[in-house]
Amino acid sequence: MMAAEHDDNTLISVITPTYCAEKTIQQTIQSVRAQTWPYWELILVDDASSDQTCAMLREAAKEDTRIRPIFLGENHGAAFARNTALDHAKGRYVAFLDSDDCWKPRKLENQLRFMEMHQYAFTFTGYELMDAEGHLLNKIVSAPKRVTYKRMLKNTIVGCLTVMIDRKQTGTFHMPDLRSRQDLATWLSLLKTGLVAYGMDEVLAEYRISGKTSLSGNKWKAAKKTWFVYRNVERLPLIPSCWYFVHYAAHALMKRMISI
């Protein structure tokens, strides 16, 4: 498919890092190609995959010129890959989608209209959980109406796969060079300037979860990295860090119960 004609103010750049994602990347790409909003570019930055991911990206780019793969010579991590994509993005708006997650067909269109209607710079939506094989689990993570800097510290409710940002309002931004939780650190950095993240009360994305053992391990790693963000990125004192972490842990436990 050829790139659709568009106004620069309506182009949405979709940021997707990939690494050994041959089992899921085709479903992810197809969910972008199925969008009712045609004015997008999908920037796929491969972080030195050793499987068939690169070949799949090249084939997808042949089928649709809106797909722009970039291949890194060595592994740098998701933050570097996302930043590379951000540097190459042409759109006023940027949206994030990991290589194992998917979008509902009206995700980009509905969210863009929501942002244009209210002149919001930072928005996110609700999302649905699916299992490792891509089967929907009928379990929903809803989006609160608004999230401030302090609320984000207490509850990391914003799903990266649902975020859309208007760079005309925020200016250029990058993710900190962290191996994980770089998305949280980015949202905090934006919200710390006084921005508010506005939630759209609609389920427009599908988040893939792994098995229980892996999930528990991932939650523990996420908790440690969240503490690292509090103390080393945001440089919060010990007592406030403990206060926010207790709230974070309680909310994380509730989300864990939803996913069981």
pLDDT classification of 214: cutoffs 50, 70, 90: very low
Note the pLDDT of residue 215: 43
Tell me the C-alpha distance between 230 and 183, whole Å: 13
* Number of neighbouring beta carbons within 10 Å of residue 227: 18
Domain region containing 153: 8-210
User: What predicted TM-score, i.e. pTM, was given to this entire model?
Assistant: 0.91
Note the pLDDT of residue 210: 72
Tell me the C-alpha distance between 218 and 215, whole Å: 5
User: Residue 43 sits in a domain of what CATH number?
Assistant: 3.90.550.10
The neighbouring-strand residues paired with 39 are none
Range from 25-29, 152-156, 161-165 carrying the lowest mean pLDDT: 152-156
Note the pLDDT tens digit of each residue in 97-125: 999 999 999 999 999 999 999 999 999 99
**Is residue 248 situated within a structural domain?**
no
**Is residue 226 situated within a structural domain?**
no
**Is residue 222 situated within a structural domain?**
no
pLDDT classification of 242: cutoffs 50, 70, 90: very high
**Is residue 232 situated within a structural domain?**
no
Residues near 218 by beta carbon (within 8 Å), at least 6 away in sequence: 210
> What is the count of structural domains for the chain?
1
Strands 40-46 and 67-71: parallel
**What is the separation of C-alpha 158 from the centre of its chain, rounded to a whole number of angstroms?**
9
